[in-house]
Amino acid sequence: MLHSLTNNAKLVIQFKRTLFWLTNDNRFYSANKIQNNDVDPLRLIPFLLMHVGCVGILFVGTSTAALVLASILYVLRMFFITAFYHRYFSHRAFECSRKFQTVMAIVGCTAGQRGPLWWASHHRSHHLHSDTNKDPHSPSQTGFWFSHSLWFLTPKTYLTPENHIKDWLIFPELKWIDKTDWLPFVGLAGICYALGSLLNTFFPGLETSGAQCLVWGFFVSTTCLYHATYAINSLGHLWGTRRFETRDNSRNNSILALITLGEGWHNNHHRYPRSARHGLYWWECDIAYLGIILMSAVGLVWNVQKAPSSLTAKNQDAT
């Protein structure tokens, strides 16, 4: 009888832990483990499985349809991260309606980089403590690989530092989205498979399938999206030029800017974080900013912030 009660108690505890994990509840980790800076295997496994899923290309093959789907999903989700998770939720570089804000928060979750509040809180912490021992992901403090991807797999960064995002906590829908950020992500996987199956049924000439679209549109596209985004945290503080003498090691890098729709102008960004435009000059390609301007033109966003003209004029000839 005692043994049965003990087993039942263990099942209840495990059920609660699973529920806490699925809802990003701070109680998932005990207080003494929250400060642990070691990678948690439970969080590492899903991250590794995403990469393992890419091996599926050896079994499902490729097609033009699958490559187009992967490319579209990469660009769209990179835009959701750069324009909204970063420039809007982290820096409030422009304004939009509450409904549009909610929609962008949900579609941003399809990038698999957790919710907008978690993302913004850690990014604001990065700017407050950039390249110091309090920076969540500084390559000069913790090394390349930790700053690139391992930092968010630790118990320490599981929490959402709410003291950094008090301006967003007034929106209960954002808190709910943050708790269930995995739902849109998993939903995207289902959409990719369903789309491939439909194309196979109605347009067999495209020579694609549900499994093929799942592998290319979800696993490959997401993995590429991951490492392009993470490269700003790591390479963005190691490789490139410095136009501004900021208190951190941020760099401008045209290659990173190209693959991240403008985030590679990282030194510009650290000099004036609230600017919606990271590429400060016409020759600095910033596709995310062009997207923001387009949304502004049709009234979806407004009050778009830009760096002062005095700042850009002073450094126009700098590299």
Average of pLDDT values for 2-8?
Answer: 56
**pLDDT > 70: percent of the chain:** 92
pLDDT of residue 25 exceeding 90:
no
pLDDT of residue 217 exceeding 70:
yes
For residue 1, name the pLDDT band (cuts at 50, 70, 90): low
- pLDDT value for 2: 47
Measured in whole angstroms, the distance separating CA 137 from the mean position of its chain's CA atoms is: 14
Helices first, then strands: H and E counts in the chain: 16, 2
**Model's pTM, two decimal places?**
0.93
**269, 261 Cβ separation under 8 angstroms:** no
Average pLDDT across the chain, whole number: 92
- pLDDT value for 315: 59
For residue 319, name the pLDDT band (cuts at 50, 70, 90): very low
CA distances for 140 relative to 122, 127, 146, 239, 297, angstroms: 18, 15, 10, 12, 41
Burial class (CB in 10 A: 0-12, 13-18, 19+), 108: buried
Q: 115 CB contacts (<8 Å, ≥6 apart)?
A: 24, 105, 109, 160, 174, 177, 178, 179, 181
pLDDT in tens, 57-83: 999 999 999 999 999 999 999 999 999
Rounded to a whole number, what is the distance in angstroms from the first to the last CA of the chain? Answer: 75
pLDDT of residue 219 exceeding 80:
yes
DSSP state of 95: E
pLDDT of residue 33 exceeding 80:
no
- pLDDT value for 314: 57
Alpha-carbon distance 213 to 193, whole Å? 6
CA distances for 286 relative to 232, 263, 283, angstroms: 14, 8, 9
pLDDT in tens, 235-255: 999 999 999 999 999 999 999
Alpha-carbon distance 318 to 59, whole Å? 50
SS3 label, residue 265: strand
Both structure tokens of 201: 């049924």
- pLDDT value for 243: 94
